[in-house]
């Protein structure tokens, strides 16, 4: 399985590749885009400058550094939609990204995907988790669009991912699954919140609208069924959860299912954090031959070493695999 690392500065590429990253992904918001549409209308769902390249020169330098280690770079253009005024510029930016040497474009809007095809761009297309795939019919649908890889929604269970992986294999589609950072109990593709903060340089997790205190109540027959109030409980937990999150305990299942790439969220994280995350996954992959329970124990140890806290449901991407 490949290790897909976030990237936001050219200098990060070489050390991250040497540490074990085998793929990179990044976003770009240029001064031209910022002047016309602002960071509030980011072209890639990240609304902070620290998470994005600001020039195609820097992007080109990152691609060059990655290529020295045979590590490809993917570029993210995954806004839920683009207005008519934005479309010409975002298509121009895709062209410049391809000219800079990126290997894949990560997108979400079906209209935008059609525009890429209509314009004749020669690049592999990855479907972002911002356009969620829940079943095999969705896989087949996007395959017809020319999609080569699917980023799986981060709220799925391991069992659901295993089922999708079987269908993806038959269709010849690659799959990406999240394994570190930025766990969210909600569904990216159905989220209409802007991830904004006090300024556009860096957005704190505590500033996100979904972290604001709120209460929910359950009504109807669902309340009398097992787990009827689970959404309310998840919302309460989410408001107080740290941004640390982990899905390493699922790696043995992912390998068996045929997951192609393990995604580290966090384009806005520090370089040291990115480096530690890549090393953590590389070490985890070296232990895949261990028996299930021993492997799980080792993953819990890695989590504690990295975060100085024990594994807990609220930090766990795949609790059915991660909790003892």
In a domain, 188, yes or no: no
- Do residue 61 and residue 139 come from a single domain? yes
Report helix angle 292-307 to 271-285, nearest 10. 160
In a domain, 190, yes or no: no
Query: What's the CA gap between 63 and 131, in Å, rounded?
Result: 26
120: CATH? 3.20.20.70
* CB neighbour list of residue 9: distance below 8 Å, 6 or more residues apart: 53, 58, 62, 271
**CB-CB neighbours of 324 under 10 Å:** 8
- Do residue 115 and residue 179 come from a single domain? yes
- Do residue 220 and residue 108 come from a single domain? no
Q: Is 319 helix (H, G, I), strand (E, B) or coil?
A: helix
Of all helices (H) and strands (E), which one includes residue 105? strand 104-107
- Do residue 146 and residue 212 come from a single domain? no
- Do residue 263 and residue 236 come from a single domain? no
- Do residue 18 and residue 33 come from a single domain? yes
List phi, psi (to 5°) of 111.
-65, -40
Q: Where are the alpha helices (DSSP H) in the chain?
A: 13-19, 31-37, 56-67, 84-100, 110-118, 136-144, 158-171, 230-239, 251-257, 271-285, 292-307, 319-322
In a domain, 201, yes or no: no
- Do residue 261 and residue 222 come from a single domain? no
Q: Is 3 helix (H, G, I), strand (E, B) or coil?
A: strand
Domain-terminating residue out of 198, 225, 240: 240
In a domain, 230, yes or no: yes
pLDDT tens digits for the chain (324 residues)? 999 999 999 999 999 999 999 999 999 999 999 999 888 888 888 878 888 999 999 999 999 999 999 999 999 999 999 999 999 999 999 999 999 999 999 999 999 999 998 888 888 999 999 998 999 999 999 998 889 999 999 888 899 999 999 999 999 999 999 999 878 777 888 877 767 667 666 766 666 777 777 666 666 766 655 455 555 666 666 666 666 789 999 999 999 999 999 999 989 899 999 999 999 999 999 999 999 999 999 999 998 898 888 887 778 888 776 564
- Do residue 236 and residue 93 come from a single domain? no
List phi, psi (to 5°) of 48.
-125, 140
- Do residue 236 and residue 247 come from a single domain? no
Number of alpha carbons in the 13 Å side-chain half-sphere of residue 283: 14
* CB neighbour list of residue 84: distance below 8 Å, 6 or more residues apart: none
- Do residue 133 and residue 45 come from a single domain? yes
Tell me if 244 sits within 8 A of 181, measured CB to CB.
Answer: yes
Structural domain boundaries, residue 275:
2-183+243-322
Query: What's the CA gap between 210 and 232, in Å, rounded?
Result: 13
In a domain, 169, yes or no: yes
Query: What's the CA gap between 74 and 28, in Å, rounded?
Result: 11
Give DSSP secondary structure letters for 151-195: E--TT--HHHHHHHHHHHHHHT-EEEEEEES---SS-GGG-----
In a domain, 196, yes or no: no
- Do residue 304 and residue 212 come from a single domain? no
In a domain, 191, yes or no: no
**Could you tell me the pTM of the whole model?**
0.87
- Do residue 214 and residue 236 come from a single domain? yes
In a domain, 28, yes or no: yes
Count of structural domains, the chain? 2
């Amino acid at each position: 399985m490949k290790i897909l690392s976030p990237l936001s500065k050219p200098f990060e590429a070489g050390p991250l590749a040497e540490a074990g990253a085998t793929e990179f992904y990044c976003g770009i918001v240029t001064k031209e885009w910022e002047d016309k549409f602002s960071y509030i209308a980011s072209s890639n769902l990240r609304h902070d400058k620290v998470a994005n390249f600001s020039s195609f020169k820097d992007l080109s330098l990152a691609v060059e550094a990655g290529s020295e280690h045979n590590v490809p770079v993917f570029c993210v253009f995954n806004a839920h939609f683009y207005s008519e005024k934005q479309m010409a510029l975002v298509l121009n930016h895709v062209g410049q990204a391809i000219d800079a040497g990126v290997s894949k474009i990560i997108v979400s809007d079906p209209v935008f995907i059609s525009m890429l095809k209509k314009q004749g761009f020669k690049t592999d297309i990855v479907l972002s988790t911002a356009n969620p795939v829940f079943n095999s019919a969705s896989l087949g649908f996007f395959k017809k669009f020319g999609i080569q890889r699917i980023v799986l929604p981060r709220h799925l269970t391991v069992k659901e991912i295993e089922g999708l992986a079987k269908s993806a294999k038959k269709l010849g589609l690659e799959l990406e699954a999240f394994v570190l950072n930025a766990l969210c109990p909600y569904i990216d593709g159905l989220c209409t919140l802007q991830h904004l903060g006090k300024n556009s340089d860096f957005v704190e997790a505590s500033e996100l609208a979904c972290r604001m205190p709120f209460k929910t109540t359950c009504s109807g027959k669902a309340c009398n069924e097992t787990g009827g109030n689970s959404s309310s409980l998840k919302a309460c937990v989410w408001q107080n959860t740290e941004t640390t999150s982990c899905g390493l305990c699922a790696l043995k299942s992912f390998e068996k299912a045929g997951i192609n790439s393990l995604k580290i969220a966090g384009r806005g994280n520090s370089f040291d954090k990115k480096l530690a995350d890549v090393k953590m996954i590389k070490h985890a992959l070296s232990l895949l031959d261990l028996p299930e329970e021993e492997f799980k124990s080792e993953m819990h140890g890695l989590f504690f070493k990295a975060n100085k806290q024990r594994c807990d449901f609220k930090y766990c991407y795949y609790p059915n695999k991660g909790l003892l």
